[in-house]
Amino acid sequence: MSGLKKMLNPSSTAVVGVSTSNPFSPGNVIFRKLCFENDLTTYAINPKGGTVEGQKVYKSIPEAPGDIDLVVIAVPSRFVPQILEQCGEKGVKAVIVVSGGFGETGESGQSLQTEIVEIANSHGITMVGPNCIGVFVPDTVDTFFLPSERVARPRRGNVAIVSQSGGWLVERLEEFAERDVGIAAAISIGNSAQTDVTDFVQYFGDAPKVDVILAYIEGFRELEGRRFVETVHSVARKKPVVVLKGGESEAGHRATQSHTSSLAGDMAVADAAFRQYGVLRAVDEDEVMAYSKVFSFGLRYMHGPKVGVMTVSGGHGVIASDEASYYGLEFPPFSEEQQQAMRGVMTPAYQGIASFRNPCDLTGSASDIDYERVLDKMLEFDTIDAALLLLLPYAPGISLQIGARISNVVKRHNKTVVTYVPNLDKYEVIIRGFELNGIPVADTIEEAVQMLNGIRKHCMFLDREGAK
């Protein structure tokens, strides 16, 4: 799929289906984005010609005067084959078919879908779609036909997202933007008639600026499932591949067939294959966010399931213990010797009221320096594989600098550390202090535990493969 590189980083584009009378048509929205927002050389195509947005409208792809890296097609399905032939004549190597009316509609649509795949293959065209919203690469290219003012766009980052559902993808972009998780690219593959999720996993697996791949999958065509897991098996040795699979219920299975013409398949079989081949399965959208965010910070190896916990609230420690039990993580009690070592570095006035069993409750009297010193001591213990900080900044001794100060401690140790801080505007400086220094911050206690669970599951795969 040599055209993927041009598709995701084009120098010139064309949009087929730009209207001279309806400025809100999908083609027009896409044209404005590519031409004015992405500042790309972009040709508007409509057989009627004319002008749009002050730009000349060309009557066909071959009539456009320059080379074209990427063509976006947004016309009724019956016209797509002839346009693809024009793309082949022009030497275009990357095409996105936004149009619907193909395999998702039944037998006649499937016949048309087969035809456009054959045309694309005959001309060496890499095609995404049909029935999709295309691709979004921050600061580079945006073919989504949704007006920019209506959809949030995450900053540039290192998470690549591939989805069989355009709507699900748009919702993830909203959430990623809200949580300030950057993305490398977002791909809506729709019916995946030619290129499929496996092609993009392979492509992003070799991309140096992508650290985690996220995929939403509703099903696989015949033989595609094996190719997918085998590809992930290779890629997951280099970076995590997180998958949310839809269509598990009978109703969901039926819905996937009408949505993207895919088959949901047996979830029990898929789940077993996922575990065997290193697919990091997210069971819901909460885990999607937890895994995507924590791996966007890179991987600190987690050798086992044992976690040391620090908090200023005993109740939060109890909640974390319950969550950890559910996910198979352990909070091993610290020995008397370890407890005394941590107690000895606490502020003397509070040594008698703090508890160090695990979770360690430093109480609301604890200050930044207590957190620093106790964590530094805790991370020396070989009885824990990671640390979880439950930070409630309402404690009077906690300053806005605690994130940066704790980060300096973490840098001295080779262990995973995850933090929970309530996602409130007044704590933004604290959260930034952690995250700018490489420590992921969770919105909830459950999310923090899910982050650790994701790291542990991926490290278990690496251990099994000898790929640490």
Q: Is residue 142 part of a domain?
A: no
Residue 249, pLDDT score = 46
* Total tally of structural domains belonging to the chain: 3
| pLDDT tens track for 422-449 | 999 999 999 999 999 999 999 999 999 9
The two structure tokens encoding residue 158: 């290192």
Is residue 468 predicted with pLDDT exceeding 70?
no
Q: Is residue 139 part of a domain?
A: no
Q: Kindly state the percentage of the chain with pLDDT values over 90.
A: 86
Q: Is residue 302 part of a domain?
A: no
Q: Is residue 136 part of a domain?
A: no
Residue 252, pLDDT score = 43
Q: If you average pLDDT over residues 202-217, what whole number do you get?
A: 97
pLDDT tier at 373 (50, 70, 90 boundaries)?
very high
Q: What is the CATH number of the domain that holds 399?
A: 3.40.50.261
- Phi and psi at residue 273, to the nearest 5°: -65, -40
Residue 272, pLDDT score = 83
Q: Is residue 140 part of a domain?
A: no
Domain shared by 17 and 159, yes or no: no
Among the residue ranges 268-277, 345-354, 424-433, the one predicted with the least confidence is 268-277
Residue 152, pLDDT score = 87
Domain shared by 194 and 287, yes or no: yes
Domain shared by 258 and 168, yes or no: yes
Domain shared by 69 and 216, yes or no: no
Q: Is residue 138 part of a domain?
A: no
Is residue 261 predicted with pLDDT exceeding 50?
no
Q: What is the CATH number of the domain that holds 107?
A: 3.40.50.720
pLDDT tier at 158 (50, 70, 90 boundaries)?
very high
| pLDDT tens track for 219-242 | 888 888 899 999 999 999 999 999
Domain shared by 326 and 272, yes or no: no
Task: Domain of residue 403: give its range.
Answer: 307-465
Domain shared by 169 and 107, yes or no: no
Residue 24, pLDDT score = 93
Assign 163 to helix, strand or coil. Answer: strand
Domain shared by 261 and 364, yes or no: no
pLDDT tier at 248 (50, 70, 90 boundaries)?
low
What is the β-pairing status of strands 134-137 and 183-188? antiparallel
Is residue 454 predicted with pLDDT exceeding 50?
yes
Q: If you average pLDDT over residues 64-92, what whole number do you get?
A: 97
Q: Is residue 282 part of a domain?
A: yes
Task: Show Cβ contacts of residue 63 under 8 Å, excluding neighbours closer than 6 positions.
Answer: none
Q: Kindly state the percentage of the chain with pLDDT values over 70.
A: 95
pLDDT tier at 323 (50, 70, 90 boundaries)?
very high
Assign 142 to helix, strand or coil. Answer: strand
Among the residue ranges 247-256, 352-361, 409-418, the one predicted with the least confidence is 247-256
Residue 251, pLDDT score = 42
Among the residue ranges 262-276, 307-321, 349-363, the one predicted with the least confidence is 262-276
Domain shared by 6 and 33, yes or no: yes
Domain shared by 120 and 67, yes or no: yes
Domain shared by 269 and 314, yes or no: no
Domain shared by 460 and 311, yes or no: yes
- Contact yes or no for 23/3 (Cβ under 8 A): no
Domain shared by 344 and 435, yes or no: yes
Residue 434, pLDDT score = 96
pLDDT tier at 266 (50, 70, 90 boundaries)?
low
pLDDT tier at 466 (50, 70, 90 boundaries)?
confident
* Boundary of a domain, candidates 296, 323, 341: 296
pLDDT tier at 467 (50, 70, 90 boundaries)?
low
Q: Is residue 155 part of a domain?
A: yes
The residue behind tokens 């789940």 is 271
| pLDDT tens track for 32-60 | 999 999 999 999 999 999 999 999 999 99
* Boundary of a domain, candidates 296, 331, 365: 296
